[in-house]
Structure 1
Amino acid sequence: MVKLISNWCMTVKSLPQEYVFPKDTRPGDQVVPNFENCPVIDLEKAGSDDRNDIIQQVLQASQDCGLFQVINHGVSEDMLKDAMGVVKEFFNMPYEDKASLYSLDTTKSCRLYSSSFDYAGETVHRWRDVLKHTCHPLEECVDLWPEKPSKYRDVMGKYSVELRNLSLRILEMIREGLELNPEYFGDELTGAQALLLNHYPPCPEPSLALGISKHSDPNILTILYQENVGGLQVMKDGQWVGIKPIPNALVVMIGHLLKVVSNGKLESAEHRAVTNAEESRYTIGSSINPRNKDVVIEPAKALLEKNDCRPLYRAFSYKDYHQVYKEHRGEGEPTLEVFKIED
């Protein structure tokens, strides 16, 4: 438990050396501009005559940078507040109440840890504490979740169901836009879901540290709730830009696997999280993944036939992809380069 940053961060005045990133990857003192033209899509209109227009907005945003924000998405303001409230309550409990959840075992379906998925193997630690657990099918997962706070299982269970439904709605719009077969994003590709709850405590030297280093998500789709404290940055046109929080909005990020399925038509956002010295930042990520590690990931055949084009990526198993992703530390292009078909 001593590795949890929140246990000791308020007692240090300078950043421990093992958290100092190399000069070429640290954020530095330069002010990063906000992504002023970050697409904001009103999903309420997807149920009206404007549905085709909304689908095209989703596709365009997914092509341009692989990231967009959604409003009027169907997840109530009260639900968002309740979920964030219980997450904050969890991370601020005494460490004794969290000790049984702490683990470096990456195979555990519910675990509390610090930095990244591979604390022991990384050369520089990230400035964050994380609670990660599976959440679908809910009845198979919920008994492994934290028992404290007392409302945790009830609130986060409802939240995970709503986020899964929203994820599938967005994937259905993408399916329609790409003209893929009905039920393409069925259980084979979307049968698993995980929640990733992040706590970024105040950092004594934010210019030297990162909450999460540059990466692309190793899944189909991620939806992030970041409340009102900024810190998410995305690589756009060769520079970092900040994603300014919008009240009650959710950030949607295209994952690596969806980039492959679309044969490179959709982009997978390279992003990172920076820290600040004044206040804690909390986020809730929901990711959609294949449930079976042996499932084959490949460009959609219907898409290749429709556009009369060759596949850019060879078929590979989800298990093999994850191994390569770990070897490349989440770096986007180096990971997918392994599976690219040479000209």
Structure 2
Amino acid sequence: MCLPMHAVSSMDVLTSNWSNIQSLPESYVFPLERRPGTNNIPASKDIPIINLENIYGPERPEIVQHIIKASQDFGLFQVINHGVSRDLMDQTMRIFQDFFASPAEFKSRFYSNDLNSSCRLYTSTLNYKNETVHYWRDNLTHRCHPLEDHIIHWPENPSGYRNIIGKYSIEARKFLLTMLELICEGMGLETGYFGGELSKTQLISVNHHIPCPNPSLTLGMPEHCDPNLISMLQQGNISGLQALKDGRWIGIEPLPNAFVVIPGLQLRVISNGKLSSAVHRVVTNSKESRTTIGTFVAPSSDILIRPADSVLKESSLTPLYRGYTYKEFFSMFTGNNCEAERALECFKL
């Protein structure tokens, strides 16, 4: 397929519109030092798995400590028996797969690089025109809380989109707020600390990766940390997510009916560095398409974020970070090419 890359339009650049790709376009070939290479990275057997089945029973304190330890040691974990039905998860995955399989003319209605859009479809990153190399993905992102404010901007098709994705958004939010409350308990914070403005914003972000002619030369997503408060990922059944652990990449196995939970950088700051946020990336697949559903909870733009007083008092700690607004942090994060350590350095005391 010949791609007229000089003219950027959704018809040309959305990879989900492509067919019969025999070789990797040059603009997707990464520099040698950034390529994932041909080494197959096996799924790690050490990734913590949190079972929430007995979360309201006597095992709750043990589960809470398991979550805190996983957040400290790995900066991510998988959760089973989380309360979101398998049927709803499957329906949601099918809806998004059908969306990306929709005709190019239909998808072009949602193509946008406007960060403030309630619903946007784009490819690679929002900076596509200025990139020297592109990531092998299309992304659909929309806001979903409060639901009634944003659902009118969502696609109406495939059939049932708003109904099913609306239900999923509500259940995903319930789950993430539960995880935040458990983290709150484990850190010794007052009940409801992460409520209100600290968890006001919610996004669904769906990545779609078509089969890639040469996975060793490109990436589906760059290595990064999530800048928000907390994230969850429904992987489907195709591997591709990798996390950096002790200087080495490890694979995150897609478990049936499980969510990957990733504490965001705001939890790292609020915990005064006690919790970590995993550096992660996505590699591509040569044979199968891969669709993943991310849900992100973030603070409102103007809420003040700083190390929690109770965390500091518990061990007579000195705060590592000054207070800032999420708007200020996000601006610094994107301005530093989404590199977490460089962004955090700007707020260190």
TM-score exceeds 0.5: yes
**Residues 1:306 and 2:314 are matched in the alignment:** yes
Q: Which residues of 2 match residues 1-343 of structure 1 at below 5 A?
A: 1=10, 2-8=12-18, 10-291=19-300, 293-341=301-349
Is contact 2:234–2:259 with CA below 8 Å preserved after alignment? yes
Query: Aligned partners of 2:180 and 2:131: how far apart in 1?
Result: 33
**Cα deviation digits, residues 36-88 of structure 1 (max 9, x gap):** 11000101121110000000000000000110000000011101101001011
Report the alpha carbon displacement of residue 123 of structure 1 after superposing the two structures with TM.
2.4
The CA deviation string for residues 199-238 of structure 1, in whole angstroms up to 9 with x for no partner, is 0111111001101010000100000000110000000110
Shift of 1:323: 1.2
Give TM-score scaled by structure 2 length: 0.95
Q: Which amino acid aligns with 2:190?
A: N
- What are the Cα deviations for residues 293-323 of structure 1, in whole angstroms up to 9, with x where unaligned? 1211111111111210101111111111111
Cα deviation, residue 121, structure 1 = 3.2
Q: 1:325 to 1:122 in 2, by over 3 A?
A: farther
CA-to-aligned-CA distance 1:152-196 (integer Å, 9 cap, x gap): 000000000000000000000000010111221111100110000
Contact 1:215 1:271 survives alignment (8 Å): yes
- Does structure 1 conserve the Cα–Cα contact (< 8 Å) formed by 2:227 and 2:340? no
Superposed CA offset, 1:235-272 (max 9, x none) = 01100000011111110001011111111000011000
Q: Which amino acid aligns with 2:208?
A: H
Q: Which letter maps to 1:297?
A: I
For residues 339 and 23 of structure 2, the distance between their equivalents in structure 1, rounded to whole angstroms, comes to 28
Distance 2:328 2:248 in 1: 31
Offset of 1:277 from its aligned partner?
0.7
TM-score when scaled to structure 1? 0.97
- Aligned with 2:72: secondary structure? helix
Amino acid at match of 2:14: L
SS at match of 2:296: strand
Contact 1:215 1:329 in 2 (8 A): no
Instruction: Report deviation, 1:11.
Output: 3.4
C-alpha separation in 1, matches of 2:297 and 2:115: 18
Q: Which stretches of structure 1, 4 residues or longer, exceed 3 Å deviation after superposition?
A: none
Contact 1:214 1:330 in 2 (8 A): no
Query: How far 1:332 moved relative to its partner?
Result: 2.2
RMSD: 1.0
Task: Determine what percentage of the aligned residue pairs are the same residue.
Answer: 49
Matches of 1:318 and 1:121 in 2, distance apart?
Answer: 26
The answer to whether the Cα contact below 8 Å between 1:97 and 1:148 also exists between their aligned partners in 2 is no
The one-letter code sitting in structure 2 at the alignment partner of 1:105 is: D
- Equivalent residues of 2:65, 2:186 under 8 A apart: yes
Residues in 1 aligned to 2:272 and 2:129: alpha-carbon distance in whole angstroms? 35
2:198 is paired with a residue whose SS is helix
Aligned residue pairs total 339
Deviations 1:110-167 (A, max 9, x none): 1000011322233221100010000000011100001111210000000000000000
SS at match of 1:30: coil
